[in-house]
Amino acid sequence: MIIWLAIIVGTVTCYLFKLAGLSIPERLLDNPRIRRIAALLPVALLAALTAIQTVATGSRLVIDARLAGVAAGAVALLLRAPFLVVVAVAAGTAALIRLL
């Protein structure tokens, strides 16, 4: 039930953002401060999500195979690997470490 609630609220609101963008006059969004928030918000959210998914388990910080996997994924990113390769390298590295 909690999952469906998150899906419905998230989905409806995301759609309303898309629709609002097509409907409101451009000058409402043409504010330097709003533009800066729009540019920085995804950066902050993605960085926080990356950090949490790498070392948090519930409410604890845990260093495990995930960290090595993400580090390997970062190296793949630096080598300009495509998205799926980055994800596969990260997963493969973590899986390998758990096997050892």
Partner 1 sequence: MSPERRREILRNAAGIGVAVGAYALSFGALSVAAGLTPLQTMVLSLVMFTGGSQFALVLVLGQGGSWPAAAGSAIMLGSRNLFYGPRVAELLDRPRGWRRLLTAQVTIDETTAMALGQEERAAARLAFWATAVSAYSLWNLGTLVGALGAALLPDPKALGLDAAAPAAFLALLAPRLRGREPWLVALAAAAVALALVPVVPAGVPVIVAALAAVAAGLRGKPVDP
Query: Minimal distance in Å, beta carbon 75 to partner 1?
Result: 11
Distance CA 40, CA 45 (A): 9
Q: Dig out the tokens for 45 from the structure.
A: 């959210």
- The residue count for binding partner 1 (CB under 8 A) is 74
**Segment 62 to 81, residues that bind partner 1, using CB under 8 A:** 65-66, 68-70, 73-74, 77
Smallest distance from the beta carbon of 48 to partner 1, in angstroms?
4
Question: With binding defined as CB under 8 A, does residue 88 bind partner 1?
Answer: yes
92 binds partner 1 (CB under 8 A): yes
Binding to partner 1 by residue 100, rule CB under 8 A?
no
**Is the CA virtual torsion 11, 17, 18, 20 positive or negative?**
positive
